[in-house]
Amino acid sequence: MSDLPPPPRLGVAHRRRLRALWRSAGWPSHDLLEAELLVAGLLTRETDLQGRDTLRLTEAGLRLMTQDAQGHRSARSAHEGLVARVALEMHRAGRIVWQGLSLRAPVALDAPDVVPPPAPSVFDVGAVPEPALAPVRWVQAMPDVYSIRHTTREDWVEPVAHEIKVSRADLLSDLKKPAKGAAYAAVASQCWYVLAAGIGQAEEIPEAYGVMQAHPLAGQPGTFGALEVLRPAPRRPFVLPLALWMALARADARRFEDEAQTGLGDDPGASGEEVA
């Protein structure tokens, strides 16, 4: 039986170091991370005529780095495909759609989890007496898809935020960030998780969110077809504050090839959030 220790487990930091060394002149750091990459056979040491050591990726290191890059590109492609799929469904439901918005949202200082949206006066502190204002901190809410109804009646607008997940690791990481959910609740009357099939169950998602499952199209990696509602999102009364209206006005809404004039004041019932 060999007395040699088992090979080190390689993580994100090891892969990041491989990419950094590939882009650099290869000067060594002489740290544990570097030693583990050398032991794993992913790096090799070279000594020049002046006795200076440099590091180079071995064939195994190059393969790992390129496989890792391909995996990231595949995940980005799948994420972008599902974002586009959800955005299209919201457009077909007669909603105005934004992708990649960054909205400044007020969140209660002591918010442990998803909180109800604050009163509109939180955005306009001059509208209410000082004692009525709860202490808040401002965070950035960045939903993958954000949409509102095509209407001028503020009680029909019903803003909806969709968060898209195509990998289980990304989903689990996201669920550890309660402030993110609180920020979404501060800018939307409904919040949804849209999960690629197989990465999670509705029971894992906080009840403040609705949950959809996206089914991939056979033979077409990174593309999705049916969106199945696993759990509807709770609806909360919400009036868009002026600051949020202005942020939407400054941002570019997503345009679609089949875009047509939608009549203002159409029936608000066809919001399209529950898509079979």
Q: Which residue has the higher pLDDT, 255 or 97?
A: 97
For residue range 43-87, list pLDDT tens digits in order. Answer: 999 888 888 888 988 888 888 877 766 555 555 678 888 998 999
* Distance between CA atoms of residues 115 and 107, nearest Å: 8
For residue range 139-169, list pLDDT tens digits in order. Answer: 889 999 999 998 878 778 999 999 999 989 8
Indicate the pLDDT class of residue 115, thresholds 50, 70 and 90. very low
Taking CB atoms within 8 Å and a gap of at least 24, the contacts of 251-255 are 251/98, 251/101, 252/98, 253/96, 253/97, 253/98, 254/87, 254/91, 254/97, 254/98, 254/99
Indicate the pLDDT class of residue 216, thresholds 50, 70 and 90. confident
CA angle, corner 179, sides to 134 and 11, nearest 5? Answer: 160
Once rounded to an integer, what is the mean pLDDT over residues 15-36? 85
- What φ, ψ does residue 32 adopt, rounded to 5°? -65, -40
* Region of poorest pLDDT, from 6-15, 22-31, 167-176, 200-209: 6-15
- State both tokens at 236: 């909360």
pLDDT at 232 over 60: yes
